[in-house]
């Protein structure tokens, strides 16, 4: 079985667990995104929440992408990493006053507004500064993303966005406000979406909404389709770069673009997911009555996706070529959910072996916690080891 390539001798000298980023793959992925988006003049805002490691952010900023933020902390991290304020968009259902003020003070490109209550506060805070905030309304398009329930965001029962039935009322109120300017519509239906029909539905929905709004005399300069493109967690070695070509082509084929209108996307996982790996060490192999456990020095404090979303990460014993054996791979945290995988095939594991968790660049390091008073994992980059 094909495994990833790692600088194993150097890794053996490092304290585990840690994150390891392949900067060549990140750059290649960015090159593909830029080329494919460039075909249609699409604007790309990297979703910072997927991975806010400062070096990762600065590489992405240096490639000319914008940033999609969901907190004031992310807005600040993006500015610090070199993203121009004019390319920062700011979404989130619960923006605090200081977060809105931070966006206003820096003249970010757009607030993606998720409720009329929020809109009123942005209008008030902008008025106090004598500014006009550019806003897009995040619409809940009622499109099923066909993904894990915890990462579906575009259904009526989700907390995100403004429901279609309430959109016209919100726009009427907005147009009467002095300190907000409606510049577009925003959508984001979920994450790890691999079924392109969800994006087809989204494009069709965007057309319908725009036609409805046109009858009210409302024309929008920007449409933002959010993020959500999935990656192949099962074949990180064969398919390291997601098919951005297909994704953008699906939208391009169906979307009716108005003259002068700009189309935006907010990919997170699809940009950084495959370039990151979480590296941990086998502490003990415990032979149970019915199964063997590989007990690692990493737990859900370093990589929470399996515990939180039942996610699969490919695991590889990168220091052994011995016969495969079957293990339940678990961490040291005192919670029974601290299990990375059951009945996992690994090359025979011994104390000290390094286990790589592939495809861990998105929602990995950024979700690490100090639960159990653990230390946060360090990060290393392929060009620095």
Ligand X SMILES: *Cc1c(COP(=O)(O)O)cnc(C)c1O
Should residue 267 be labelled a site residue for ligand X when binding is judged by CB under 6 A? yes
Under rule CB under 6 A, residue 16 binds ligand X: no
Beta strands in 200-338, from DSSP E residues, in sequence order: 222-224, 262-265, 276-287, 292-296, 315-317, 324-330
**Closer CB to ligand X, 164 or 285, in the complex:** 164
Residue 197 C-beta-side C-alpha neighbours within 13 Å = 3
Distance CA 352, CA 16 (A): 10
> Nearest-5° angle of CA 247, CA 366, CA 51?
35
- Per CB under 6 A, which region of 44-52, 113-121, 176-184, 365-373 contacts ligand X? 44-52
Assess 188 for contact with ligand X (CB under 6 A). Answer: yes
Q: Which of 59, 60, 65, 68 binds ligand X (CB under 6 A)?
A: 68
When asked if residue 47 is in the footprint of ligand X (CB under 6 A), the reply is: yes
By CB under 6 A, tell whether 60 contacts ligand X: no
Structure-token pair, residue 281: 């060490």
Choose one: 7-15, 163-171, 264-272, 315-323; the region binding ligand X (CB under 6 A).
264-272
> Least distance (Å) from ligand X to the CB of residue 225?
9
Among 50, 223, 241, 298, binds ligand X (CB under 6 A): 50
Longest CA–CA span in the chain (Å) reads 71
Minimum gap (Å) between residue 349 Cβ and ligand X: 31
Q: Of 67 and 133, which CB lies nearer to ligand X in the complex structure? A: 67
For residue 376 the two structure tokens come to: 């946060």
Binding part of the chain for ligand X, among 78-86, 231-239, 260-268, 315-323 by CB under 6 A, reads 260-268
User: Considering the rule CB under 6 A, would residue 99 count as an interface residue with ligand X?
Assistant: no
Q: Is the peptide bond before 17 cis (omega within 30 degrees of 0)?
A: yes
Residue 269 within binding range of ligand X, rule CB under 6 A: yes
Question: Hey, is 2 helix, strand or coil?
Answer: coil
Three-class secondary structure assignment of 262-279:
EEEECCCHHHHCCCEEEE
Residue 136 sits in the site that holds ligand X (CB under 6 A): no
Residue for token digits 């040291």? 332
Nearer to ligand X, 152 or 319 (CB): 152
Q: Residue 74 is encoded by which pair of tokens?
A: 């992310």
**The tokens of 144 are what?**
């099923």
Question: Does residue number 314 form part of the binding site for ligand X (CB under 6 A)?
Answer: no
Q: Find all residues with CB under 8 Å of 367, minimum gap 6, and list them.
A: 303, 304, 305, 308
Q: In this chain, which of 37, 59, 81, 91 binds ligand X, going by CB under 6 A?
A: 91
For ligand X, give the closer residue by CB, 49 or 87: 49
CB distance 248 to 209 below 8 Å? no
CA atoms within 13 A on the CB side of 262: 12
> Which residues, including other chains, have CB under 8 Å from residue 277's CB and lie 6 or more apart?
4, 6, 19, 20, 21, 22, 356, 357, 358, 359, 360, 361
Give 152 or 317: the residue with its C-beta nearer to ligand X: 152
> Does 266 help bind ligand X (rule: CB under 6 A)?
yes
Q: How many CB atoms lie within 10 A of CB 91?
A: 27
- Which window, 4-12, 197-205, 236-244, 262-270, contacts ligand X (CB under 6 A)? 262-270
* In the complex, least distance from residue 200 CB atom to ligand X, rounded to whole angstroms: 17
Q: Which of residues 333-362 bind ligand X (CB under 6 A)?
A: 362
Measured from the CB atom, is 114 or 353 closer to ligand X? 114
Q: Which stretch binds ligand X (CB under 6 A): 55-63, 209-217, 268-276, 343-351?
A: 268-276
Task: Select from 206, 202, 227, 176 the least CA-distant residue to 47.
Answer: 227
DSSP state of 11: H
* 228 contacts ligand X (rule: CB under 6 A): yes
Query: Which residue among 71, 191, 210, 301 contacts ligand X (CB under 6 A)?
Result: 191
Give the footprint of ligand X on this chain (CB under 6 A): 47, 49-50, 68, 70, 91, 188, 191, 226-229, 266-270, 362
């Amino acid at each position: 079985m094909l495994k990833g390539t790692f600088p194993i001798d150097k890794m053996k000298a490092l304290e585990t667990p840690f994150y390891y980023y392949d900067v060549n793959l990140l750059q290649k992925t960015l090159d593909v995104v830029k080329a494919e988006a460039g075909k249609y003049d699409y604007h790309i805002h990297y979703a910072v929440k997927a991975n806010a490691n400062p070096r990762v952010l600065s590489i992405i900023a240096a490639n000319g992408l914008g940033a999609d933020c969901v907190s004031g902390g992310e807005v600040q991290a993006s500015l610090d990493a070199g993203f121009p304020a004019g390319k920062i968009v700011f979404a989130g259902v619960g923006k605090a006053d200081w977060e809105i003020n931070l966006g206003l003070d820096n003249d970010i490109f757009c607030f993606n507004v998720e409720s009329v209550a929020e809109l009123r506060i942005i209008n008030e805070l902008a008025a106090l500064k004598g500014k006009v905030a550019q806003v897009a309304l995040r619409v809940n398009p009622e499109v099923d993303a066909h993904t894990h329930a915890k990462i579906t965001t575009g259904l009526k029962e989700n907390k995100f966005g403004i429901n279609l039935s309430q959109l016209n009322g919100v726009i009427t109120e907005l147009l009467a406000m002095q300190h907000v300017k409606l510049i577009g519509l925003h959508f984001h239906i979920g994450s790890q979406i691999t079924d392109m029909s969800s994006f087809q539905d989204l494009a069709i929905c965007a057309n319908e909404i725009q036609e409805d709004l046109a009858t009210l005399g409302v024309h929008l300069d920007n449409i933002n389709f959010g993020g959500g493109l999935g990656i192949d967690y099962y074949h990180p070695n064969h398919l390291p770069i997601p098919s951005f070509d297909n994704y953008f082509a699906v939208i391009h084929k169906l979307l009716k673009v108005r003259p002068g209108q700009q189309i935006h996307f907010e990919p997170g996982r699809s940009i950084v997911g495959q370039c990151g790996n979480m590296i941990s060490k086998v502490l003990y192999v415990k032979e149970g009555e019915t199964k063997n456990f590989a007990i690692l020095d990493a737990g859900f404090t370093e990589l929470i996706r399996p515990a939180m979303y039942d996610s699969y990460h490919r695991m590889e014993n990168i220091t052994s070529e011995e016969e495969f054996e079957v293990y339940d791979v678990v961490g040291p945290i005192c919670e029974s959910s601290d299990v990375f995988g059951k009945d996992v095939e690994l090359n025979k594991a011994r104390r000290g072996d390094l286990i790589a968790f592939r495809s861990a660049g998105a929602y990995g390091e950024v979700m690490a916690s100090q639960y159990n008073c653990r230390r946060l994992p360090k990060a290393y980059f392929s060009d620095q080891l």
